[in-house]
């Protein structure tokens, strides 16, 4: 498709998570794209067994359903001592963020092995559903003994960044925007996305 740059002016963010949508808006603000939240009427079942499978699935189906370009991510927390749980079930591990956090802390208990990582897989699909670009970002850390901070969303209050000795719930948004799993995945995607929108920003 030779006219990709003229086509990709609007991008549907295939997520119902307001926190994620706002993060994408911040990360992609300088590309001149119009970002549109996914219509509530579109609900894609996440049947993949990996983050990238789910990202591809959501991006493709949302692109086809809306007739436009779509960006989807699937992300979650992997706790090494819990055999990488909650993993792809991160958003479904319990009914609320606080319940999900409590379940992880209860299952981990007093274990000294608290290594964990946030994983983010992102896929971009063209209007016909074809995957045009994808990337995976990983941010390594540990699980705090208890929630700390009121920032972020999801598991952020218990994800401790060792070099900062702060959780994602405590650090400033502009710091998280540089080191998070989502930021790292977008960094990988950036050159491809710039090409698609016809931009010429430096990486």
Residue 64, token pair as written in the block: 């086809």
Containing H/E element for 178? helix 173-179
Residues tagged active-site: 74
Please name each of the domains of the chain with its CATH number.
4-197 (3.90.950.10)
Reported as a single tens digit per residue, the pLDDT across 108-159 is 999 999 999 999 999 999 999 999 999 999 999 999 999 999 998 899 999 9
* Pairing status of strand 166-167 against strand 115-125: unpaired
In whole angstroms, what is the distance from residue 169 CA to residue 56 CA? 28
Q: Which pTM was predicted?
A: 0.86
């Amino acid at each position: 498709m030779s006219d990709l740059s003229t086509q990709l002016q609007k991008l549907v963010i295939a997520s119902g998570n307001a926190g994620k949508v706002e993060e994408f808006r911040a990360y992609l603000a300088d590309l001149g794209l119009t970002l549109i939240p996914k219509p509530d009427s579109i609900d894609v079942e996440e049947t993949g067994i990996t983050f990238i499978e789910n990202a591809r699935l959501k991006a493709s189906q949302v692109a086809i359903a809306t007739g436009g370009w779509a960006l989807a991510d699937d992300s979650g927390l992997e706790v090494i001592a819990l055999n990488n749980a909650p993993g792809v079930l991160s958003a479904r591990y319990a009914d609320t963020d606080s319940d999900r956090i409590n379940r992880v802390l209860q299952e981990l208990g007093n274990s000294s092995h608290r290594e964990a990582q946030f994983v983010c897989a992102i896929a971009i699909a063209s209007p016909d559903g074809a995957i045009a670009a994808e990337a995976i970002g990983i941010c390594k850390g540990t699980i705090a003994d208890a929630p700390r901070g009121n920032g972020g969303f999801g598991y952020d209050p218990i994800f401790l960044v060792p070099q900062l000795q702060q959780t994602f719930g405590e650090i400033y948004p502009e710091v998280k925007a540089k080191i998070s799993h989502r930021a790292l995945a977008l960094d990988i995607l950036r050159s491809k996305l710039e090409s698609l929108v016809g931009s010429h920003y430096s990486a």
